[in-house]
């Protein structure tokens, strides 16, 4: 897994299931993150080959509920994100799926109460020793790439120091969401905070936050670069008003860029040819949900967010969708 110059589908709870990941990949996403799955849940699963669908399923024992579904089409680009607060349990979860995914990521940025109450997600940001323990344990025992995703801390200095500590664990890359834990999606992402991290580390830094158009991928990479003022001394020349010029030289910015809501609203954001109309995206998404027997709750949740960005939700339509018992009913 190479984390340089990549367009990436961000992890999104109840959204980043197989249909959306495959759709994003078709339109140009180089790496696709699955939704966060808590270690407690995945370790209770059996790995099964679903011959009818051609998928590999991780099914919760006793419930027959599919916790994670993947397939050979995405094996070289799908990242399995774990929600955890324990190094041993995280390793057990990772070892269960490691033969079917391209990389393992630890969620250290989710601000939802469920994650925080379990000591997971953004709760880890205040526990650097536990972070080191989890990441070091995974790196020592897995052959797959290991990464993590964080948010900004209270000060740029604190964020950079934590990122440097994470780098020392040997992880292959670090994703930085340019918001603080208490920030909401409507608050603008702070790309300058990502720039601070990118300039301080030697491993790839993945930028995340406010990427809604294809051009934003390049804008955030440029915005997270550091510019140095270097004087250039020219030989004296009567035609020149000054022999001293200032040259702006750009240092490295973010290595890759990750899109969340922009990709949810329209997965064709990854296409350099421009976004496809959202109604076409809806149909393509529903088709994949049927083909891969996607969980109906995930399907309806994703469709609601996808459609509500572009148009007002018509009450009769959404009443029918809410009552739907299968993706075929939704279609």
Question: The domain that contains 195 carries what CATH number?
Answer: 3.20.20.70
Please state the domain count of the chain. Answer: 1
218 labelled as ligand-binding? no
SS3 at position 178 = strand
Which tens digits make up the pLDDT trace of 4-28?
A: 999 999 999 999 999 999 999 999 9
Residue 138 domain-assigned? Answer: yes
Mean pLDDT of 27-38: 97
> What's the 3-state SS for 291-317?
HCCCCHHHHHHHHHHHHHCCCCCCHHH
108 labelled as ligand-binding? no
Residue 246 domain-assigned? Answer: no
CA distances from 102 to 58, 245, 253, 306 (A): 16, 48, 25, 27
Closest to 252 (Cα-Cα) out of 190, 189, 207: 207
H-run or E-run covering 26: helix 18-26
Residue 144 CB-half CA count within 13 A: 25
For residue 144, give its domain range. Answer: 7-225+252-294
Which tens digits make up the pLDDT trace of 66-109?
A: 999 999 999 999 999 999 999 999 999 999 999 999 999 999 99
Residue 56 domain-assigned? Answer: yes
226 labelled as ligand-binding? no
**Catalytically active residues, by annotation:** 110
Residue 206 domain-assigned? Answer: yes
13 labelled as ligand-binding? yes
Which tens digits make up the pLDDT trace of 219-240?
A: 999 999 854 444 544 444 444 4
Question: What pLDDT sits at residue 243?
Answer: 47
Cα-to-chain-centroid distance, residue 331? 28
Contact (Cβ atoms closer than 8 angstroms) between residue 212 and residue 261: yes
Mean pLDDT, the chain, rounded, equals 91
245 labelled as ligand-binding? no
Residue 54 domain-assigned? Answer: yes
81 labelled as ligand-binding? yes
Mean pLDDT of 256-276: 96
Residue 67 domain-assigned? Answer: yes
241: pLDDT strictly greater than 80:
no
Residue 70 domain-assigned? Answer: yes
Residue 242 domain-assigned? Answer: no
Mean pLDDT of 268-277: 95
Which tens digits make up the pLDDT trace of 303-328?
A: 988 888 887 777 777 788 888 888 88
Mean pLDDT of 111-133: 93
């Amino acid at each position: 897994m190479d984390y340089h110059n990549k367009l990436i589908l961000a992890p999104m709870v109840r959204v980043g299931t197989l249909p959306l990941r495959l759709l994003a990949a078709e339109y140009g996403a180089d790496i696709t993150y699955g939704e966060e799955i808590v270690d407690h849940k995945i370790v209770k699963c059996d790995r099964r080959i679903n011959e009818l669908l051609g998928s590999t399923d991780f099914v919760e024992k006793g419930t027959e509920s599919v916790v994670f579904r993947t397939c050979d089409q995405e094996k070289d680009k799908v990242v399995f994100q774990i929600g955890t607060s324990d190094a041993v349990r995280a390793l057990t979860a990772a070892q269960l799926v490691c033969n079917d995914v391209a990389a393992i990521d630890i969620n250290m940025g989710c601000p939802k109460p469920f994650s925080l109450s379990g000591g997971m997600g953004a709760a880890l940001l205040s526990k650097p020793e536990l972070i080191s323990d989890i990441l070091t344990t995974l790196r020592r025992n897995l052959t797959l790439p290991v990464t993590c995703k964080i948010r900004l801390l209270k000060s740029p200095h604190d964020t950079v120091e934590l990122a440097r500590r994470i780098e020392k664990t040997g992880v292959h890359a670090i994703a930085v969401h340019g918001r603080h834990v208490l920030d909401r999606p409507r608050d603008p992402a702070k790309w300058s905070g990502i720039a601070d991290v990118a300039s301080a580390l030697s491993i790839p830094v993945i930028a995340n936050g406010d990427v809604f158009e294809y051009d934003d991928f390049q804008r955030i990479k440029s915005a997270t670069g550091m510019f140095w003022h270097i004087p250039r001394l020219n030989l004296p020349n009567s035609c020149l008003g000054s022999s001293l010029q200032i040259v702006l030289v750009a240092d490295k910015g973010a290595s890759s860029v990750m899109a969340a809501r922009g990709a949810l609203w329209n997965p064709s954001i990854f296409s350099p040819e421009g976004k496809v109309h959202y109604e076409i995206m809806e149909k393509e998404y529903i088709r994949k949900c049927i083909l891969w027997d996607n969980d109906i709750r995930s399907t309806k949740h994703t469709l609601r967010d996808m459609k509500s960005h572009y148009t007002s939700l018509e009450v009769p339509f959404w009443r029918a969708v809410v009552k739907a018992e299968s993706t075929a009913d939704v279609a």
